[in-house]
Every structure is written in structure tokens, then in C-alpha cells.
Amino acid sequence: MRATRSLEIGTGLFVILGLAALIFLTTQLPSSGLKLSFGKVPGYDVTAEFDNIGDLKVGAPVRMAGVRIGDVTAIGFDNQSYRADVHMHIYPQFSQIPVDSYASIDTEGLLGGQYISISPGGLSTYLKNGSQILQTQSAVVLENLINKFFANFSSSSSGGGAGGGGNGAKTPNQSKNP
């Protein structure tokens, strides 16, 4: 009976530790919007405004040359410019990003999550806490591209095909021999 009791306690502890690990790992996912941090993380905060952020989420990575240099910390809406206002936290070791850098929203693979990609500018003055990246490119929404493709395809195919006339009748400028 004593062995059964210690087996039950061991199983209970194992289940509790497993649930705690699952909850912790879930909060670390970029798409969850939750991050467990203990104290202020060093670095500096910058913002950028975009016309369309697509499916960008809080916690998404900020990358430069494919290297993660920060995280998206907040997303808001600017009532004056009617644009999305994205707040980013940049890690302290990346303190020499030129102020004329370019921020775009890219997608990881064909169906992956979205992230902010920063292309460096050429000035010798650098972003600092509270800076704003002025040059931005919005997210490319796959559904919009597909709709434009099919709209162009259907308009060009309904135009009568190649040759323009479409009815096969000869015009006075055409010769009788091909």
C-alpha cells in the first residue's frame, strides 16, 4: 500500500511539472502575444507606421539580414494618419542601425508568420530609444495578389484573344495572302 501511495504522488508531480512546462512554452510562442519576462529587458524601443500590417502579431521577430534583432512589442492605430503604429524593442547589441533604415513586413516562407525586416540605410547617425523608422513597406497580402491576378487574367481573356478583332473578319488593311 505504501508503494502505491508514492507512485500516485510521483505521477501527480510529473503531471503538474508537465503542465507548468506546457504553459511556459505556450507563452514563449510569438503568436501567443504573451511573454514571461523577469524585469526590464535591456535595449531600446523604436516605432514605424505601416499602411497595412497584414497578420503581424505582438511578439513577432524583428530581423536584419535574417538575424533576429528584436521583437514587436505593441501594435496600435494612429487616428491622425490612419495607419498602423508598430512598436519594436531592439536588443542592445544592435545599437548601430542607421536612422534612414527601411522597415518592411515580410512572411516566413509561403504560409509562415509575418515579421518585420529592417534594411540598413547609409547614414552615420543611429536609431535610439524613441526613434521612428520613416521608410516603410506594408505587408503583401496573398489574397489581394491572387484577386489581382485573376482580375487581370479574366479581363485579358475576355478581350477577344490575340489579334484584337476577335470575329475573324478581315479589315481593309489586311492582305489576302498570309
Break the chain into its structural domains and give their ranges.
Answer: 2-32, 44-143
pTM of the predicted structure, to 2 decimals: 0.62
Averaged pLDDT for residues 122-140: 90
* Contacts made by residues 28-33, CB under 8 angstroms, sequence distance 24+: 29/59, 30/57, 30/59, 30/60, 30/61, 30/71, 30/113, 31/57, 31/59, 31/113, 32/59, 33/57, 33/58, 33/59
Look at residue 40 and tell me whether its pLDDT is greater than 70. Answer: no
Look at residue 34 and tell me whether its pLDDT is greater than 60. Answer: no
Averaged pLDDT for residues 7-29: 85
Amino acid at 163: G
